[in-house]
Amino acid sequence: MAINLPIYMDNHATTPVDPRVLEAMLPFFGEKFGNAASRNHSFGWSAEEAVENARAQIARLVNANPKEIIFTSGATESNNLAIKGVAEMYREKGNHIITQVIEHKAVLDTCKRLEKYGFEVNYLPVEKDGRINLDDLRRAITPKTILISIMYANNEIGVINPIAEIGKIAKEKGVFFHVDGVQAAGKVPVDVQKDNIDLLSLSGHKIYGPKGVGALYVRRRNPRVQVSAIIDGGGHERGMRSGTLNVPGIVGMGKACEVCQNEMAEEGERLRRLRERLKEGIFAKLDEVYINGSMVHRLPHNLNVSFAFVEGESLLMGINDVAVSSGSACTSATLEPSYVLKALGVGEDLAHTSIRFGLGRFNTQEEVDYVTDRVVETVNRLRELSPLYEMAKEGIDLSKMNWRPA
Amino acid sequence: MAYSDKVIDHYNHPRNVGSLPKEDPNVGTGLVGAPECGDVMKLQMKINPETQVIEEAKFKTFGCGSAIASSSLATEWVKGKTVEEALAIKNTDIVRELSLPPVKIHCSVLAEDAIKAAIGDWKRKKGDTTPAAQTTTTHG
């Protein structure tokens, strides 16, 4: 089978829209353009019906009730709404929030803002494998704790947290549990009942749906959770999120959830096999390659690897017909290497050499083999160019060198 | 980020990659940068003690494409120059030649440092203790 270049293997960043999703959306850009809030004519009714259908599709994916799904503009907004909304609503009850250091910035920066307004936040460390320690969590809970916010799976290393155990602890202690489920939902089974999740952030574009649409699951019973709105206006979404609904986006997200649910088992297994093939191909042909994060508790489609002595951006430049991403400082907006890898205890030297592969629905085995060959060839070429590789081969301990940073 | 054609050319066809015997009294070695910062350059020059002409230059670099290009260009430029001429190469010359964007200026600084460090090492081997040049103050 011929390979089409460039190859997209950065599916944690975003995913292409599935053609079935696009097809479901199209009528809502055309003849079905109505406002779902228009109660008095058929244009509004058909839009509302489509929105309610999507709400049910999304709810089914995570075992929720459709009434518990609030539409947003994306997971960043969902995370903001969950955390700020609970903080404001339950301020009288307490001002303490627990999260972890490797959350997405949408959670971390939301928590940082709340700190300015008098909230106290614990940022739990993670173990070497990228998961939080449950004893750390238990110890961090105080009578003032109102919320625990822990992601289901990390966007860089794909490591899955012990969500059911955290949910159990939160429930025992009477603390709300918010989960950023963006990377996990649709890829692995997420069940808000089984896992005792009270709030769950979801995104459309990570599951082969469109960008600009997301959802927040807000538990309605046992216990009932309320969030203060952060956007005021016409009182849509039961007052929790005002603003005219993005009907085509919502329809697309609903369809994307349905497809994921129907195909999750098969797709997860296929991607796991491809991921293992990629990993084994790389490890068979290169030395000094290190996996970042647990391989056991991990999304099936993620591989995060450090190629020692080869700087990440230069590797990306060498495999320029393959779209992946790096934890190297040179590829980040902040010019700092990945804070996620740093939190795992990966040295900054190795963080600069990390590459994240995010396999997806449309990747083929031929593509995986092509990517493997390109990576191996480029790493070998760059190691020939690397003074560090040469020194390591000479037996010099690089950590004992007296470096002269620029 | 889009790279300039010259950066891509040096990245794809780096000039003068390799190593010279660092024990050779006529070889100066400069090793600058740090793995934690994501770039390390090793620049070596073989210098004729009579004429002070740089007869050979080799590099190896761990770093982004711009760091590789900066050091590759540095080896091209110093070859055939006298020590004094090589010391006059400024990081801004490298920035201009490679059209480096502001976030990559530190790569050119590192290349200039590498030239000075290599010549300094050679001078030390010759028993000359005066510093090769003033340390640049534009470090990023």
Residues A93-151: tens digit of each pLDDT = 999 999 999 999 999 999 999 999 999 999 999 999 999 999 999 999 999 999 999 99
- Asked if residues A218 and A177 have their Cβ atoms less than 8 Å apart, the reply is no
Find the residue in A nearest to B64 (Cα): A314
CB atoms within 10 A of CB A37: 15
Closest CA to A275 of A203, A363, A405, A208: A363
A158-188 core/surface letters (b: 16 or more CB in 10 A; e: else)? bbbbbbeebbebbbeeebbbbbbbbbbbbbb
Distance CA A24, CA A21 (A): 5
Distance CA B74, CA B71 (A): 5
Percent of chain A at pLDDT > 70 equals 98
Mutation to test the A interface, candidates B4, B9, B20, B64, most A Cβ within 10 Å? B64
Least CB–CB distance from B62: residue in A309, A337, A347? A309
Least CB–CB distance from A330: residue in B34, B35, B64? B64
The conformation of residue A280, written as its DSSP 8-state character, comes to: H
pLDDT at position A186, please? 98
CB contact under 8 A, A406 and B63: no
List the structure tokens of A237. 């979404």
Distance CA A309, CA A289 (A): 10
Q: What is the mean pLDDT of chain A?
A: 96
Distance CA A23, CA A10 (A): 24
CB contact under 8 A, B113 and A404: yes
Q: Encode pLDDT of A355-403 as tens digits.
A: 999 999 999 999 999 999 999 999 999 999 999 999 999 999 888 888 8
Q: Encode pLDDT of A224-270 as tens digits.
A: 999 999 999 999 999 999 999 999 999 999 999 999 999 999 999 99
Catalytic residue, chosen from B107, B109, B111, B114, is B107
Least CB–CB distance from B32: residue in A313, A385, A404? A404
Angle made by CA atoms A334, A339, A342, in degrees to the nearest 5: 135
Distance CA A218, CA A82 (A): 8
Find the residue in A nearest to B109 (Cα): A406
pLDDT at position B139, please? 35
Helix (H, G, I), strand (E, B) or coil at A118: coil
Alpha carbon of B64: minimum distance to chain A alpha carbons (Å)? 4
* A–B CB contacts, 8 A cutoff, strictly below: 90
CB contact under 8 A, B64 and A328: yes
- Asked if residues A160 and A16 have their Cβ atoms less than 8 Å apart, the reply is no
Closest CA to B68 of B120, B116, B6: B6
Is 70 exceeded by the pLDDT of residue A1?
no
Q: In what order do the strands lie in the sheet with A302-307?
A: A289-291, A302-307, A354-358, A325-326
Angle made by CA atoms A118, A121, A124, in degrees to the nearest 5: 170
Chain B contact set for A313 (CB, 8 A): 64-65
> Would you write out chain B's pLDDT as a tens digit for each of its 140 residues?
678 999 999 999 999 999 999 999 999 999 999 998 899 999 999 999 999 999 999 999 999 999 999 999 999 999 999 999 999 999 999 999 999 999 899 999 999 999 999 999 999 998 876 555 444 433 33
pLDDT at position A36, please? 96
pLDDT at position B140, please? 34
Alpha carbon of B60: minimum distance to chain A alpha carbons (Å)? 5
Is 90 exceeded by the pLDDT of residue A59?
yes
Cβ neighbors of A377 (< 8 A, separation 6 or more) are none
Find the residue in A nearest to B112 (Cα): A406
Helix (H, G, I), strand (E, B) or coil at A201: strand
pLDDT at position B134, please? 44
Cα dihedral value B9, B13, B14, B20, nearest 10 = -160
Helix (H, G, I), strand (E, B) or coil at B31: strand
pLDDT at position A406, please? 62
Residue A257 annotated in active site: no
Residue B131: cis peptide before it, omega within 30 degrees of 0 = no
Distance set, CA A222 to CA A157, A176, A179, A225 (Å): 33, 11, 17, 9
Catalytic residue, chosen from B37, B48, B80, B96, is B37
Complex ipTM: 0.89
Query: How far is CA A43 from its chain centroid?
Result: 35
CB contact under 8 A, A405 and B36: yes
Least CB–CB distance from B40: residue in A318, A330, A388? A388
Find the residue in B nearest to A385 (Cα): B60
Find the residue in A nearest to B140 (Cα): A406
Mutation to test the A interface, candidates B8, B40, B137, most A Cβ within 10 Å? B40
Least CB–CB distance from A313: residue in B17, B41, B64? B64
Mutation to test the B interface, candidates A311, A319, A332, A338, most B Cβ within 10 Å? A311
CB atoms within 10 A of CB A156: 24
Find the residue in B nearest to A309 (Cα): B62
Residues in chain B: 140
Angle made by CA atoms A264, A269, A275, in degrees to the nearest 5: 120
Helix (H, G, I), strand (E, B) or coil at A167: helix
Q: Encode pLDDT of A272-316 as tens digits.
A: 999 999 999 999 999 999 999 999 999 999 999 999 999 999 999
Chain B contact set for A334 (CB, 8 A): none
- Asked if residues B4 and B86 have their Cβ atoms less than 8 Å apart, the reply is no
CB contact under 8 A, A403 and B40: yes
Percent of chain A at pLDDT > 90 equals 94
Chain B contact set for A317 (CB, 8 A): 3, 8, 11, 64-65
